[in-house]
Amino acid sequence: MTPELPDRYGRTELVLMVVDPSLLFAYWEVTSEGLREAQVALGAEMKGARAVLRFYDISLIHFDGTNAHHTFDIDIGLEGRNWYVHLWTAEKSYCADLGFVARTGRFHAITRSNIVHTPRAGVSARDEERWMRVRFVRRRKPDPARRLEFVLAPPFGGRLSPEELRALLERRLREQARLAAESAKGTSPGSLFQGSR
């Protein structure tokens, strides 16, 4: 017989996970103490207050609770305990608070999530190059603290001018990226235990 897992772990928490560049998954648990604390904090305003996830876009900043690029709220049912959140832009950093918004607009947070970074969904706009020499070590582990040696970028050579070659390589990269996006429909036939086609 398959054992059942506990429904709750008795710990108030909110966890964010990345599904893809424009989708997050959030799961949470709120203990009765967590809820009571919110009731105390909001007092009479708790009546009619909405449970929300308040998301903060904290890309490339040190978040101090007030300096997010922007925020948005997702209404949740506390009992639902998880939710998928659709996003507009890739390559961002987010965290979220789980809390209550009173009718007056006052927000009380019960818990704050981890920070997640959504991946890029296309070719990077940055093209400044750095190059490094790293000596490969056979049959033993390299020292993790070894110094890394930056070196000059190799020249763009050959029959074409450096500018033409750079442009050619970029075109190739973008073409490959286009093909990669197309074939990301899934290419692997799966493992032994995959079902029949």
Contacts to other proteins from residues 11-70, by CB under 8 A? 11, 15, 17-21, 23, 25, 27, 29
Nearest-approach distance from CB 155 to other proteins, in angstroms: 7
Kindly state whether residue 88 participates in binding other proteins, applying the rule CB under 8 A: no
* Burial class of residue 183 in the structure, from the number of CB atoms within 10 Å of its CB (0-12 exposed, 13-18 middle, 19+ buried): exposed
Q: How is residue 43 written in tokens?
A: 């007092």
Query: Of 40 and 121, which has the nearer Cβ to other proteins?
Result: 121
Q: Judged by CB under 8 A, which of 148, 161, 162, 163 binds other proteins?
A: 148
Give which of 31, 30, 14, 22 is closest to 115, Cα–Cα: 14
Kindly state whether residue 167 participates in binding other proteins, applying the rule CB under 8 A: no
Q: How many residues touch other proteins (CB under 8 A)? A: 84
Q: Judged by CB under 8 A, which of 48, 131, 161, 162 binds other proteins?
A: 131
Evaluate whether 160 touches 169 at the Cβ level (below 8 Å): no
